[in-house]
């Protein structure tokens, strides 16, 4: 599926009843992605099925000898291995009416019952915060996060966050890690705008996280940086980790840095600044901001890594004043590509520059410094 910014929302809500034969569940419904050839629709990536609070399974000859936890993992893919092991440890799994340990080997004809653990509330409160949703279905959302919106509640930001907004908007969450909350697959800094994926179920979250880990998700940013790069593009490969003295910052001089790769190219030159396209092969905290600063071209408005007085190096007084007045880091998550965790479809999104960055670029362009 190809989605362009502004094409609206897709609110798919297909379902297939999974309760048939000797493998059935009753009670509380939980969404599940079913692998091809299983109980759900046979299409790439699986389909949507109803799994319910009390699940009953009959062990077949082909399943004999499996550990109980592995057997249940194959039957309830919407649950993580850790959740199944906790459920077994809490006595929520029984074989022929008797409690059993995770390592118990199942036998042909045995009846296995699993009580799905209750999804716990997250503690965050739903809040009617407006959201710009580009795409939504039963598994995930793609949103355009505005600059200034914090993603997760934290000390100092207990409310007014993206999570609070999503809890108000989403009425069909099935829980992430046993907690009723949206699954933030990747993050954007508070002052960074642009595209963000949110999972609605534990399984969708794990599948998307796997794509990020395998570097299958492609993200491209637009960054307005100080100065005029000598080259038209390049590759920055430098480990990023916690700053050796300032624990609130990241650095390429960290004692325990993790490999990080950033690709960049000049999109437009303004003389005192340049607009770059930036693609990241890794997703380290503050990676783009740290790497561009190390390159000598920090992001405009970045008061952590760019230097609070960098605007003073701009020669033109009007340009200097305009850049000084820009009150956030000029970084925007522009393009996003990933594979839908259930359908296997290619998902492509793009969002043009937000109004504040677009206006600053227009001003620089009109000054004729490029």
Give the active site residues: 189
Q: Where are the beta strands (DSSP E) in 93-170?
A: 93-95, 98-99, 111-115, 120-121, 133-136, 140-145
Cβ–Cβ under 8 Å, residues 257 and 241: yes
The C-alpha atoms of residue 104 and residue 154 are separated, in whole angstroms, by 41
CB-count exposure of residue 128 (10 Å: 0-12, 13-18, 19+): exposed
Three-state SS string across 228-286, please? CCCCCEEEEECCEEECCCCCCCEECCCCCCECCEEEEEEEEECCCEEEEEEEECCCCCC
- The dihedrals phi and psi of 78, each to the nearest 5 degrees, come to -75, -10
The C-alpha atoms of residue 138 and residue 79 are separated, in whole angstroms, by 17
The C-alpha atoms of residue 251 and residue 239 are separated, in whole angstroms, by 8
The C-alpha atoms of residue 145 and residue 219 are separated, in whole angstroms, by 15
Would the CA dihedral through 206, 153, 139, 282 be positive or negative? Answer: negative
């Amino acid at each position: 599926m190809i989605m362009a910014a502004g094409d609206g929302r897709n609110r798919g809500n297909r379902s297939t009843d999974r309760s048939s034969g000797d493998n059935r569940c009753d009670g509380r419904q939980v969404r599940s992605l079913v692998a091809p050839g299983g109980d759900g629709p046979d299409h790439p990536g699986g389909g949507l099925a109803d799994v319910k609070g009390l699940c009953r399974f009959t062990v077949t000859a082909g399943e004999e000898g499996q550990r109980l936890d592995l057997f249940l993992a194959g039957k309830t893919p919407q649950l993580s291995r850790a959740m199944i092991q906790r459920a077994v440890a809490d006595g929520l799994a029984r074989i022929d009416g008797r409690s059993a340990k995770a390592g118990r080997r199942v036998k042909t004809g045995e009846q296995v019952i699993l009580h799905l653990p209750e999804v716990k509330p997250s503690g965050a409160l739903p809040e009617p915060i407006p959201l710009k949703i580009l795409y939504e279905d039963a598994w995930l959302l793609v949103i355009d996060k505005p600059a200034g919106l914090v993603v997760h509640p934290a000390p100092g930001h207990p409310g007014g966050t993206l999570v609070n907004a999503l809890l108000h908007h989403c009425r069909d969450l099935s829980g992430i890690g046993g907690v009723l909350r949206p699954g933030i697959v990747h993050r954007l800094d508070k002052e960074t705008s642009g595209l963000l994926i949110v999972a609605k179920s534990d399984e969708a979250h794990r599948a998307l996280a796997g794509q990020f880990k395998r570097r299958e998700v492609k993200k491209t940013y637009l960054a307005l940086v100080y100065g005029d790069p000598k080259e038209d593009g390049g590759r920055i490969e430098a480990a990023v980790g916690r700053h050796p003295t300032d624990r609130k910052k990241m650095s390429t001089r960290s004692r325990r840095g993790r490999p990080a790769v950033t690709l960049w190219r000049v999109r437009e030159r303004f003389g005192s600044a340049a607009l770059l396209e930036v693609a990241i092969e890794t997703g380290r905290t503050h990676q783009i901001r740290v790497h561009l600063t190390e390159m000598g071209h920090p992001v405009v408005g970045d008061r952590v890594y760019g230097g609070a007085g960098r605007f003073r190096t701009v020669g033109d007084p009007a340009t200097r004043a305009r850049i000084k007045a820009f009150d956030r880091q000029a970084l925007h998550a522009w393009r996003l590509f990933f594979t839908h965790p259930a359908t296997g479809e290619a998902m492509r999104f793009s969002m043009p520059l937000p109004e504040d960055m677009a206006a600053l670029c227009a001003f620089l362009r009109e000054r004729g410094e490029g």
